[in-house]
Amino acid sequence: MKITQLSVFVENAPGHILSPCRVLADAGVNIRALYLADTQQYGILRMIVSDWREATRILEAHGFVAKVTEVLAVEVADHPGGLADVLGALDGTGINIEYMYAFPYMRGDKATLIFRFADPDAAIARLQTAGINLLASGELLKD
Amino acid sequence: MSSRACFSPASALDFVPRRELEQLQLKRLQTVVAHSFENVPLFSSRMRERGILPGDIRSLEDIAILPFTVKTDLRDTYPFGMFAAPMKDVVRLHASSGTTGKPIVVAYTKPDLEVWSSVASRSFSACGLHEGDIIQVAYGYGLFTGGLGAHYGAEKLGATVVPTSVGNTDRQIMLMSDFGTTAICCTPTYFLHMIERAVAMGIDLRKLPLRAGVFGAEPWTEEMRRYIEEHSGIQAFDIYGLSEIIGPGVGVECVCQNGLHIFEDHFYPEIVDPETGKLMPEGEEGELVLTTLSKQAMPLLRYRTRDITAFLTGSCDCGRTIRRIRRVGQRCDDMLIIRGINVFPSQVESVLLASEGTLPHYQIILTREHGLDQMEVQVEVTPQLFADTVSGMAAMERKLAQAMERVLQVRVRITLVEPRTIQRSEGKAKRVIDRRQS
């Protein structure tokens, strides 16, 4: 159920996002989803890529600091209240969302959101109990 | 291994009974004072001003009546004013890097070079090296004393010398691997750079025959030693020297790695209060003062090294009778005064290594904002320092800043920067950028 995400440290200055992207491009790694958290001084570039092992290897070989984290891909109905249903299932459980972002492909009438939870196992259990569909990495990354 | 495994005939003077050593020191001191008085106007005029004649040195304690010599004396007499031997007897000149103005020039006669080779060779011996070792000398060769000093010492030891000098790091590592180098000499920061490059090249230094590093020319910390030893599988030794006195080989750690033995038969050490110049009680911290006991071309009497250390009391397990000083962690010249508080760059390094075991690529940037000194420490992000969330990163920065403030007593702004963006040094590291004047 868990999806492997890569996070890369980048300085908050012109041109700094380009270099890791170019390194991945040259290695033939496709970035399927991307989300940048920024502070005044630096950013954390989070990516879901076609091959995270190869991506990690190639980024580290080029001197980047890359960290592998586990996130969940949650299916959300594409109508008003779709997201509220998902968040509602977590309400009152004490399960904390570190951050979330949208995965930029629609699957039928469903959208996909990527969640990073402090405790992903607790989140999986809770969401599944509530009948919310979680995508496996094979489904998420299939063309 | 017996504690005297590192004993070699050349090292005999490391082990002589103290009384015998002191007799030798006194004889040499009397000779060098007379020689300096006769040949160096600066020494004779200063001694005359104080009403001192060479004959007044009757015991080792009498050394305290002699005036100090300081670095600016060597600048003021540039280039040859401190020489005590005629130029025809001077066979070698070296000079300091001279970051400001004229460099400091030092000279050697043939017997001086012989002394230098012997102390450098005894240094290697103390680190457990011997004939059959392959010693790669990655200190710069040239006017800097590091390269040639280590080179002649290693040759005298009978080791195989690989004179790579500094730079071309990938080739250094390739040769280290292909030649089966067993010991490396360079600055500790340059070796850190080698560790980093070796990883990138896919070479595990721990699997090479390399077993010892003899590191000097800049102060480094116990934490840095642990880092180096852990990541390269070698034993890391501290060698001490300064070109004014002779170059590398004034003192060195033995296999016990507990303080540096000073080759006292050639260099007479004292520890004084840096403010008053008074001798410190045995074992207390102060500035190291050295007198060359056997140098001919450029003897120095009571030279203020600006290095802060202390004598270690008690005897060393290696059996050497020559005294030990604590590792020099601080040089007076490195001291920064930030908002009136004394700060040493080595303290920053200790905190970084102790906090996260991170490779200490850092730089200190000093600025002045609204008339107040600001200290920023830029630290390259490592996998240990990198969290995937902004809150995690902020917590890390806060933790480092707090740890620094506890040790330094100064507010520090931590800035995390991308790996490999801080310039690497091949010689002495440039840790501080002071923009407060501009």
- Shortest CA distance to A89 belongs to which of A127, A135, A128, A121? A127
Burial bucket for residue B113 (CB in 10 Å: 0-12, 13-18, 19+): middle
d(CA A16, CA A38): 12
The torsion region of residue A92 among left (phi > 0), alpha (psi -120 to 50) and beta comes to left
Chain A environment of B383 (Cβ under 8 Å): 65, 67
| Pair of tokens at residue B307 | 């290095």
Chain B environment of A39 (Cβ under 8 Å): 390, 393-394
* Phi, psi for residue B21 in degrees, rounded to 5: -60, -45
Q: Which of A62, A65, A96, A99 to mutate to test the interface with B (most CBs of B within 10 A)?
A: A65
CB count, 10 Å around CB of B339? 12
Examine the pLDDT at A24 and tell me if it is beyond 70.
Answer: yes
- Render the burial of B296-314: b for 16+ CB within 10 Å, e for the rest: bbbbbbbbbbbbbbbbbee
ipTM computed for the complex? 0.85
Residue B104: partners with Cβ closer than 8 Å, 6 or more residues away: B71, B74, B75, B78, B95, B96, B98, B243, B244
Query: What pairs with residue B160 in β-bridges?
Result: B134
Examine the pLDDT at B4 and tell me if it is beyond 50.
Answer: no
Measured in angstroms, the CA of A88 and the nearest CA of chain B are apart by 23
Taking only Cα atoms into account, the Rg of chain A, rounded to an integer number of angstroms, comes to 16
Measured in angstroms, the CA of A99 and the nearest CA of chain B are apart by 8
- CA-nearest residue to A5 within chain B is B388
The answer to whether A101 contacts chain B (CB < 8 Å) is: no
What digits encode the pLDDT tens for the residues B133-177?
A: 999 999 999 999 999 999 999 999 999 999 999 989 999 999 999
Complete DSSP assignment for B391-414? HHHHHHHHHHHHHHHHHHSS-EEE
DSSP state of B105: E
Give the closest of A11, A69, A116 to B417, CB-based: A11
d(CA A43, CA A10): 5
Query: What pairs with residue A66 in β-bridges?
Result: A8
What digits encode the pLDDT tens for the residues B315-344?
A: 999 999 999 999 997 777 788 888 888 888
Is B371:B340 a contact under the CB 8 Å cutoff? no
The answer to whether B401 contacts chain A (CB < 8 Å) is: no
What digits encode the pLDDT tens for the residues B281-326?
A: 999 999 999 999 999 999 999 999 999 999 999 999 999 999 999 9
Interface contact flag, A67 B382, Cβ < 8 Å:
no
Measured in angstroms, the CA of B382 and the nearest CA of chain A are apart by 6
Is B157:B121 a contact under the CB 8 Å cutoff? yes
d(CA B301, CA B38): 13
Examine the pLDDT at B388 and tell me if it is beyond 50.
Answer: yes
d(CA B356, CA B343): 21
The answer to whether B200 contacts chain A (CB < 8 Å) is: yes
The answer to whether B202 contacts chain A (CB < 8 Å) is: no
Q: The pTM is what? A: 0.80
Interface contact flag, A63 B419, Cβ < 8 Å:
yes
Is B294:B35 a contact under the CB 8 Å cutoff? no
Tell me the average pLDDT across B15-34: 97
Give the closest of A16, A63, A67 to B388, CB-based: A67
Burial bucket for residue B42 (CB in 10 Å: 0-12, 13-18, 19+): middle
Tell me the average pLDDT across B94-108: 80
pLDDT for B7 = 54
What digits encode the pLDDT tens for the residues B210-264?
A: 999 999 988 888 988 999 999 999 999 999 999 999 999 999 999 999 999 999 9
d(CA A61, CA B201): 9
Q: Residue B99 — pLDDT band, cuts 50, 70, 90?
A: low
* Phi, psi for residue B212 in degrees, rounded to 5: -145, 150
Tell me the average pLDDT across B86-104: 84
pLDDT for A53 = 95
Is B119:B250 a contact under the CB 8 Å cutoff? yes
The answer to whether A7 contacts chain B (CB < 8 Å) is: yes
Examine the pLDDT at B6 and tell me if it is beyond 70.
Answer: no
pLDDT for B97 = 65
Interface contact flag, A61 B200, Cβ < 8 Å:
yes
Interface contact flag, B418 A44, Cβ < 8 Å:
no
| Pair of tokens at residue B401 | 């800043």
Query: What pairs with residue B269 in β-bridges?
Result: B290
Residue A81: partners with Cβ closer than 8 Å, 6 or more residues away: none
The answer to whether A61 contacts chain B (CB < 8 Å) is: yes
Complete DSSP assignment for A87-98? HHHHTTTTPPEE
